[in-house]
């Protein structure tokens, strides 16, 4: 992720402080991201994606696995498991169990998830 942010920043001729102001983070956060010391917290992903103008790997991969696609959608939209669970009307522990592979969504929940993925 950091390489993408750095390349975009340099392409635009911006300083790290400019990117930090755009994303609502500290300059040191941008520095740490660009040096791949830390990965941005998921709540910043929507702003980072908007800044980049595209969804970077590994968040850009759509696959045949519904739960993995749900997780990708959730993260790229900055939703916590709790917030996403509320959106589809299930308990947050249910979403966590799906993502860990402990359970598979029932058909009715699969349809709710697909509804979000098709937006």
Q: How many C-alpha atoms does 29 have within 13 Å on its Cβ side?
A: 14
User: What is the C-alpha separation between 93 and 98, in angstroms, rounded?
Assistant: 9
Say what the pTM is.
Answer: 0.81
Confidence band of 68 (pLDDT split at 50, 70, 90): very high
Q: For 66-117, which CATH class?
A: mainly alpha
Confidence band of 3 (pLDDT split at 50, 70, 90): very high
Question: What dotted CATH number matches 2-52?
Answer: 1.10.260.40
In Å, how far from its chain's centre is CA 19?
Answer: 18
Confidence band of 61 (pLDDT split at 50, 70, 90): confident
User: What is the C-alpha separation between 5 and 19, in angstroms, rounded?
Assistant: 9
pLDDT tens string 6-60: 999 999 999 999 999 999 999 999 999 999 999 999 999 999 999 999 999 888 8
Delimit the CATH 1.10.260.40 region(s) of the chain: 2-52, 66-117
Find the helix or strand (DSSP H, E) in which 64 lies: none
């Amino acid at each position: 992720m950091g390489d993408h942010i750095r390349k975009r920043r340099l392409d635009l001729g911006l300083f790290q402080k400019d990117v930090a102001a755009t994303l609502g983070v500290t300059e040191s956060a941008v520095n740490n991201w660009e040096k791949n010391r830390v990965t941005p917290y998921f709540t910043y992903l929507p702003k980072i994606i908007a800044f980049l103008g595209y969804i970077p790997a590994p968040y850009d991969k759509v696959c045949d696995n519904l739960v993995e696609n749900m997780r990708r959608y959730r993260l790229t939209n900055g939703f916590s498991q709790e917030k996403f669970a509320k959106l589809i009307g299930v308990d947050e522990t249910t979403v966590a169990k799906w993502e860990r592979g402990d359970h598979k969504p029932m058909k009715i929940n699969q349809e709710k998830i697909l509804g979000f993925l098709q937006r």
